[in-house]
Each structure stands twice: as structure tokens, then as C-alpha cells.
Amino acid sequence: MPSEIQITECPRDAMQGLAHFVPTAVKATYINLLLQVGFDTIDFGSFVSPKAIPQMRDTADVLKQLDLSSTPSKLLAIIANYRGAEDASKYEAISYMGFPFSISETFQRRNTNASINEAFETVKKINELCQRHNKHLLTYLSMGFGNPYGDEWNVELVLHWAEKLINDGIKYISLADTIGIANPQQISDLYALLSDQFPGTMFGIHLHSTPNTWFEKIDAAFKSGCKRFDTALKGYGGCPMAKDDLTGNIATENVIAYLQQQGVDTGLNLDKLQEAMDYSGKVFTHS
């Protein structure tokens, strides 16, 4: 992309909660269309237990069907433990592994069956594995703006864990509003604080939102200096724990329109984007 802005398209996040299984060929066709759009990164699948996320049990088979010959996009796979990271490390095509590191003790245990401290030790081991296999570890600071469990949350806690991760060599961190509760002031203040204190780290943002609040959140992030955004076409997917059923991923097409209004040349192939949007009905509508 000629722009400094990096968009990560997240079909994995969009698909993983669907009740019906999306056939492997349909997944691959959809992701191949997304690869032609020119996104910086495609969050395409995950190497986790099929019992935990049955929708992603065919990630390795999907990967075999992807055409990476003429795309600028890099591939990201989610992992939740060291074993998953070992599986992902076998594939040269995968550039990033993404680990959900929560600053909510309850959510960390529910999500990865580990305490925060145990997850931190796992992150360190996975980062060493990534370095050996020429990959990057992206760590999500999930529940980054609060949590629904009554666990402690404050800015100091976010900074504490960000600093620990960075001191152990993590260079990519995504600040994740897992349940869609962040307000624009929070986003602006926290993003600016992190990027100022840790200028050598690439901070992205993974926001969830209702359809009528996405603009103010993206605007706050962009104007506080964010250059890396996670989105999903049509806003598919999101977090099932959010109180509002309308809360989900922020729609890629909305963020692209916003960036264009700000004078940003995204460098994306908008015709291929439309093709992917048209095809998405076959993915997200149970036939």
C-alpha cells in the first residue's frame, strides 16, 4: 500500500462464530478475493482446538487453496497456546501469529485456559518460536478498555502489561475493545499514551462497535495517530459477550470511506473489494 495506513481484513473473526460450517472451498474463494484487494494483512484462520472453534478446523486446508502469487497482503493466523504456534510455524506463507492476551483474568482463563501470568510466559515462548521461524508475533491486549466481569481495569494496568510485553521483545500490539465499550475519549487518550511512551512499537487497534458509533471511534483512533486498523467487510462477526447484539466488527468499507474523506490514498483495488462484498453473501448466509 502506498499509504502509511495498514488495514487488516479479518475474515477469520467474521466467520468463527457462525453456527453453520462454511465449506473450505467457499472460505478459500472468499479469502482469495480479499487477497486481491491489497490489504496489508489478512487475518485468515486460526490454529486452535477444533472443539473450541470448530469453524476454523480447516485452516490448514484453506491455506493450501490460497493464491499468494500476486498479492501484497501478509497472512495472520490466531493461536492460543504453544502447540497452536508450533502448528502455524510450519507454514512459510504465514507472516504473523496473533495471540489474544487479556488484561482481564477472567477472560484470559475463559479464552485460553490460563492465568494472565501463565499467558505471559506462553507469549515469551511463542515469540522465541516466531523468531526462529522468521515470523512476527502480534499480541492483542484484549479487554483493553474494560471488561464485563468486574475484574480490575485502569490505564496503569494497560501500560503495565504493554511495557512487560515490549520489554520481552513484542513489537506488534493491537489494542482490542473486545466488548465494544470504548468511548472516543478513551480511545484517543490511551492510544496516544501508548504510542508516546513506546515509540518503537507498532500499535494497532481492533475496535468493536454498533453501526451508529463506528465513526466517532475510528475518528478518535485516526486523529490520535493510529495507522493500523482491524476491520471486517460489512461488519460481520464480533464478540458474543457484548451486551448489545448490534455490536460487532467495524465495517471495512466504512473505514475506507472515512480514510478517503481524510485524503488518504489507501491503494486498494475497490473493484475487487466490491467483488468480495458481493461474494460475502455466500459465506455469511446459511444456504
Annotated catalytic residues are 239
Task: Give which of 10, 55, 65, 1 is closest to 32, Cα–Cα.
Answer: 65
Contact 242, 212 (CB under 8 A): no
d(CA 5, CA 226): 8
CA atoms within 13 Å, Cβ hemisphere of 155: 11
- Using the structure block, give the residue that is written with the C-alpha cell 475487487: 272
Contact 177, 145 (CB under 8 A): yes
* DSSP 8-class letter at 19: S
d(CA 13, CA 38): 19
d(CA 179, CA 106): 14
Parallel, antiparallel, or unpaired for β 41-47 and 228-231?
unpaired
- Continuous segment of H or E residues that includes residue 83: helix 82-89
